[in-house]
Amino acid sequence: MSPLIFEPGRIENPAQQDISMRVLIAEDDPVSCLLLESFLTKWDYQAVLATDGAEAWKILQQEDAPNLAILDWMMPFMNGPQICRELRCRPSRQYAYIILLTGQAQKEDVIEGLEAGADDYLVKPFDKYELKARLRAGARIVKLQQKLLAAQETLREQATHDWLTGAFNRAAILDILQRELARRERENGLLCAIMVDIDHFKSINDTHGHLVGDAVLREVISRVGANIRAYDSIGRYGGEEFLIVAPDCNSITAASLAERLRACIANDPFELGECLIPVTISLGVAICEERTTADSLLRQADDALYRAKHEGRNRVSVMADIGAPVYSPLSQAAG
């Protein structure tokens, strides 16, 4: 890949900074549409064409809609201000910057267009250099909004995820558990909570150091995350303990899932630098088949985990709603 070279005094074109900068041209006059398209192509924008208001509105509702739009005021089916009003009423994370093209230069017409939701306007016949400058201003605003969204997503990620392992943090995984419990009650389904603990983790830290211990935590999460289902969730509950929230699991499927997770850790020693470290986990499984609270389900999963560790570690223990242990053959074989 060629390095980026920044030349002193060079002015960057906003469109060139992002090759995905697309501009919708909504213009029912073929000559005007062709002229606008030629300008935008010359300025390194990607033009998306619409020949009437209905087509323009359809494009702007798409998931990958252009973030810049040039709309003619008068078009068949929907005019420019109508599209602006509809667009601003629709919730969307991505902002569309709209420039209205109008032959009406009266102040009240301009005010009407801006109040409808347009960001800018040009009076026909327009100067192409003025259009270029206004597009650049729009591109800057779109890019600033994209940076803001990216910053918000970063903050959301930091607020909900464990910084070391990348799994959900304790607050987030407990919130997921509460939401899944509420969904289970609405749909009368099943829900499984699996408490996972790394066996003899203190010994790993004492023998190999905390940096290796951190690497073990990350690798455990990586392996477990690769072996749970797409709609399961895993979070760091505390220290070397993790909580998995698995919807639609009965005691058999939950035991099978937990055993698969146990095996993916125990069957392959962790290769960390020059160290080859055998690691095992113990898992306590609680099945929610009737109405219960998050605290009750967690307590059952914790009791099952304690039983698994008491029985020798590197195994799975499953508890049903009534609190009685239910051992699967897989769990017994693990010991």
Residue 319 has pLDDT above 90, yes or no: no
Q: Which residue has the higher pLDDT, 192 or 11?
A: 192
Residues 264 and 323 both lie in one domain: yes
Pairing of strands 120-123, 97-102: parallel
What secondary structure does DSSP assign to 182-227, as a single string?
HHHHHHT--EEEEEEEETTHHHHHHHH-HHHHHHHHHHHHHHHHHH
Please report whether residue 8 resides in a domain. no
Residues 262 and 153 both lie in one domain: no
Residue 240 among the catalytic residues:
yes
Euclidean distance between CA atoms 228 and 194, whole angstroms: 11
Q: What is the mean pLDDT of residues 328-332?
A: 43
Confidence of residue 6 (pLDDT cuts 50, 70, 90): very low
60-64, 105-109, 175-179, range with greatest mean pLDDT: 175-179
End-of-domain residue from the set 133, 158, 183: 158
Contact criterion met (CB below 8 Å) for 258 and 315: no
Please report whether residue 163 resides in a domain. no
Residue with tokens 């289902």: 229
Please report whether residue 165 resides in a domain. no
Q: Which residue has the higher pLDDT, 334 or 215?
A: 215
pLDDT for 164? 93
Residue 328 has pLDDT above 50, yes or no: no
Please report whether residue 164 resides in a domain. no
Render pLDDT for 259-279 as a digit per residue (tens, 0 to 9): 999 999 999 999 987 789 999
Residue 155 has pLDDT above 80, yes or no: yes
High-pLDDT (> 90) share of the chain, % = 65
Residues 228 and 320 both lie in one domain: yes
Residues 154 and 174 both lie in one domain: no
278 prior amide bond cis, ω within 30: no
Residues 283 and 221 both lie in one domain: yes
Residue 310 has pLDDT above 90, yes or no: yes
Confidence of residue 20 (pLDDT cuts 50, 70, 90): low
Q: What CATH code is carried by the domain that includes residue 198?
A: 3.30.70.270
Alpha-carbon torsion 288, 293, 297, 298, what sign? positive
Q: What is the mean pLDDT of residues 111-119?
A: 89
Euclidean distance between CA atoms 245 and 227, whole angstroms: 13
Please report whether residue 151 resides in a domain. yes
The answer to which of 5-19, 90-104, 226-240 has the lowest mean pLDDT is: 5-19
The answer to which of 16-20, 27-31, 63-67 has the lowest mean pLDDT is: 16-20
Query: Could you count the other beta carbons within 10 Å of the beta carbon of residue 56?
Result: 28
Find the domain containing 49 and state its range. 14-158
Please report whether residue 236 resides in a domain. yes
Instruction: Show the beta-strand stretches assigned E in the chain.
Output: 22-26, 46-50, 68-72, 97-102, 120-123, 191-198, 233-238, 241-247, 270-272, 275-277, 281-288, 316-319, 325-326
pLDDT for 272? 82
Query: Could you count the other beta carbons within 10 Å of the beta carbon of residue 244?
Result: 29
Residue of 330, 329, 149, 170 whose CA lies nearest to 235: 170
- Rounded to 10 degrees, what is the CA torsion of 143, 144, 145, 146? 50
Structural domain count of the chain: 2
Residues 174 and 101 both lie in one domain: no
- Rounded to 10 degrees, what is the CA torsion of 118, 92, 60, 146? 80
pLDDT for 214? 95
Average pLDDT, the chain: 86
| Candidates 27, 55, 240, 241; catalytic one | 240
Confidence of residue 107 (pLDDT cuts 50, 70, 90): confident
Residues 154 and 175 both lie in one domain: no
Confidence of residue 218 (pLDDT cuts 50, 70, 90): very high
Residue 84 has pLDDT above 50, yes or no: yes
Q: What CATH code is carried by the domain that includes residue 153?
A: 3.40.50.2300
End-of-domain residue from the set 106, 124, 158: 158
Residues 233 and 292 both lie in one domain: yes
pLDDT for 17? 44
Residues 204 and 323 both lie in one domain: yes
What is the DSSP code (8-state) at residue 94? Answer: S
Residue with tokens 């074989």: 333
Q: CB-based burial of residue 223 (10 Å sphere; 0-12 exposed, 13-18 middle, 19+ buried)?
A: middle
Residue 170 has pLDDT above 90, yes or no: yes
What is the residue type of 243?
L
